[in-house]
Structure 1
Amino acid sequence: MFRRRSLPLLAALLAPLPALAHLPAGSRGPNGGQVQDIGPYHGEMVAKDGELTLFLFDHNDRPVAAAGASGSAVLLAEGRQQTLPFTPRADGAALVATGEFRAAPGLRVVVQLVPGPGLTRAQARFTPADPPR
């Protein structure tokens, strides 16, 4: 009799937890940008004409301050390649890179990120202006 009562409890404890897959790669993040895994973080790229904004989140989807981070974006747009440096935004909540490009479908961005001093460089590929998958 004891086993029958504990079976539903055991099944509930062993069931997979869908909440563990918070921001899956390729989805849209809280700022409307494309999400990709980048090292130990989730990166959300928002593209506007002439500006890329990269928001960082930990794997529990909590925002990570970008104040100590650095990196670059290798951008391919309209058949032209540019390398743009990221700088922390004034409020420290994101990294920003500016250049001459249109945020149109087909825009490709490879981000190289150093999350902070002494941390390993990470890389991710984004297509921030393409429709979500």
Structure 2
Amino acid sequence: MMRWMMTLLAGLLTAVAADAHEAAGQHGGRTTDVGAYHVELVAKGETVDLFVTNAKQEPVSAGGFKGAAILVLGGKATRIPLAPAEGNRLSGTAPMALGERPKGAVQLTGPDGATANGKLH
């Protein structure tokens, strides 16, 4: 299982589109492009929130989306499932407290079933 997680993390980190970028978001998190969407990852304590917007930075309802944050925690890749919450937010809980800038990647599956990945620095 751990080998699979490390392989997935390595694949996600290398499969990110060349035009993806990262900057500070409106919720204080880091942003990156994930396929056709722009996302912002906010980590507080054990909570991981992912805010989804379109290319024009307009909120996109999280209904119908699913996602995962694959973050490095304690030196190991940890997959944190993210489920729709209110508005344009998907949320999940990590097994331990995260720093404000955990390293890893995010995976987002849209209502149409298309899955895309984005790398966090």
Amino acid at match of 1:62: E
1:33 and 2:33 equivalent?
A: no
| Bigger radius of gyration | 1
Counterparts of 1:5-24 in structure 2 under 5 Å? Answer: none
Residue equivalent to 2:55: 59
**CA 1:114–1:94 in structure 2 vs 1: closer, same or farther (change >3 Å)?**
same
Report the TM-score when normalising by structure 2. Answer: 0.75
Contact 1:77 / 1:106 at 8 angstroms: preserved in 2?
no
**Higher RCO structure (Cα 8 Å, ≥6 apart):** 2
Report the TM-score when normalising by structure 1. Answer: 0.69
Q: How many residues align?
A: 102
The two structures, once aligned, show a CA RMSD in angstroms of: 1.8
Contact 2:53 / 2:88 at 8 angstroms: preserved in 1?
no
- Compute the displacement of 1:106 (Å): 6.2
SS at 1:110 equivalent:
strand
1:110 and 2:66 equivalent?
A: no
Identity %: 29
Question: Any stretches of 5+ residues in structure 1 without a counterpart?
Answer: 1-23, 128-133
Q: 1:84, 1:106 → 2: CA distance?
A: 15
Q: Which runs of 4+ in 1 moved over 3 A?
A: none
SS at 1:85 equivalent:
strand
